Amino acid sequence: MPYWRLSSFYFFYFAVLGLLAPYWGLYLKSLGFDAVDIGILMAIPMATKIIAPNIWGWLGDHYGHRMRIVRIASFASMIIFTMIFVVNGFWMMASAMILFSFFWNAALPQFEVITLAYLGEKVRQYSRVRVWGSIGFIIAVILLGILIDEIGIMVVPISIFLVYLAIWLSSLMVPETQVNEESDGDNSFLQKLKQPAIVVFLIAAMLMQFSHGAYYAFYSIYMESYGYSKTLIGQFWALGVLAEVLVFIYMHHMLQKIGAGMVIVFSLVLASLRWLMIGWFPESLMILLIAQVLHAASFGTFHAAAIHMVHRAFKGRHQGRGQAIYASVSFGIGGSIGSLVAGNLWETAGPQWTFTLSAAVAGIAAIIAFKWHDKQFD
């Protein structure tokens, strides 16, 4: 298994997320966009996940050559991102974000299939490869926070372009591999999607990412309003992902001990607690630090368990579309709606009640997941 080549792709892919999620909202604010505009624009990369992964997943499942898809998508997203440097106004910015995120979102689900194919029967060790994505996020978010304080907000798009270049270069180093194309029995892809356990899992995943909408769109803006520096805000984000790294290292033991279904339930409960802490105690540094440690649950344990469940549920030639459906429903539908709702509530109901809604949604998802999860996918 080409461990370091797989890991380098995750490193740079999630480094981009470490630049976009914490700082893109601040960059948009510096351009004069209001909260509603920011909510819409931050929803766009998530909304393109509804369509893009399924198109590219279908191509990967039917024609193979998944690494070729990853390379094309990585190159196209890098080139199209340069539009950001010349656009002016809401609609031009929205168009640029739609185009580059359409290709950027195509890459990861196909690369997940490649990684799982290399892992073979050692699928529970996925987290040991994926952990390098978290490390990339941490390094990127800390460095960019310092650069913004020292140089200014315009360093954000330049940094993102350079990391997109690194993603494309790293994709060239990963060799193609044969994905298991064995039949998935009598169940077609659509029949598999109709299974109650799969429906419940996708609903829980959608609601979890909905609950992240306010966090991804407005957390940095919220912290800035309370006087925290960009460097410290970057360190808040980094702490969350550092906690995620520590969880990833031991994730395969957790999956063996309590199963993916219960990991998802506990993750949702802790996510609900996290949003309440962020929303109502922004002036308490200690509570903010504890809330960021809980990122290990709201993203880390949840995502690792979800990838494990998708791999168990969708066999053979259905793997690409299985990963794509997970990305589309959770990050796409859930994430985009969550961001849009947060943008509309932020200036009317206020940040506290926006995060309270996030907590309520995660809590409802925990109840649903607990009542209807199926151990066959653990």
Residues 214-229: pLDDT tens digits?
999 999 999 999 999 9
Residue 310 covered by a domain:
yes
Residue 181 covered by a domain:
no
Counted domains in the chain: 1
C-alpha torsion 128→130→131→135, nearest 10: 150
Range with the lowest mean pLDDT among 18-22, 119-123, 282-286?
A: 119-123
What is the Cβ-side half-sphere exposure of residue 312, based on CA atoms within 13 angstroms? Answer: 22
Q: Which 3-state string (H, E, C) describes 35-76?
A: HHHHHHHHHHHHHHHHHHHHHHHHHHHHHCCHHHHHHHHHHH
In the structure encoding, which two tokens stand for residue 31, read together? Answer: 């351009």
- Residues written for the chain: 378
Q: Assess whether pLDDT exceeds 80 at residue 50.
A: yes
Which pLDDT band holds residue 119 (cuts at 50, 70, 90)?
confident
Res 376: pLDDT: 54
Q: Assess whether pLDDT exceeds 90 at residue 254.
A: no
Q: What residue spans of 172-318 are helical by DSSP H?
A: 189-193, 196-211, 213-225, 230-258, 260-280, 285-293, 295, 302-313
Residue 233 covered by a domain:
yes
Res 186: pLDDT: 42
Q: Assess whether pLDDT exceeds 60 at residue 140.
A: yes
Residue 180 covered by a domain:
no
CATH code of the domain covering residue 366: 1.20.1250.20
Residue 314 covered by a domain:
yes
Nearest to 328 by CA among 53, 21, 26: 53
- Model confidence, pTM: 0.85
Which pLDDT band holds residue 54 (cuts at 50, 70, 90)?
confident
Q: Assess whether pLDDT exceeds 80 at residue 124.
A: no
Is residue 224 within 8 A of residue 282, CB to CB? The reply is: no
Tell me which residue range forms the domain holding 321: 3-175+186-377
Residue 265 covered by a domain:
yes
How far is C-alpha 165 from the chain's CA centre? 20
For residue 96, the tally of other CB atoms under 10 A from its CB is 20
Is residue 242 within 8 A of residue 289, CB to CB? The reply is: no
Residue 79 covered by a domain:
yes
Residue 268 covered by a domain:
yes
C-alpha torsion 3→8→11→14, nearest 10: -100
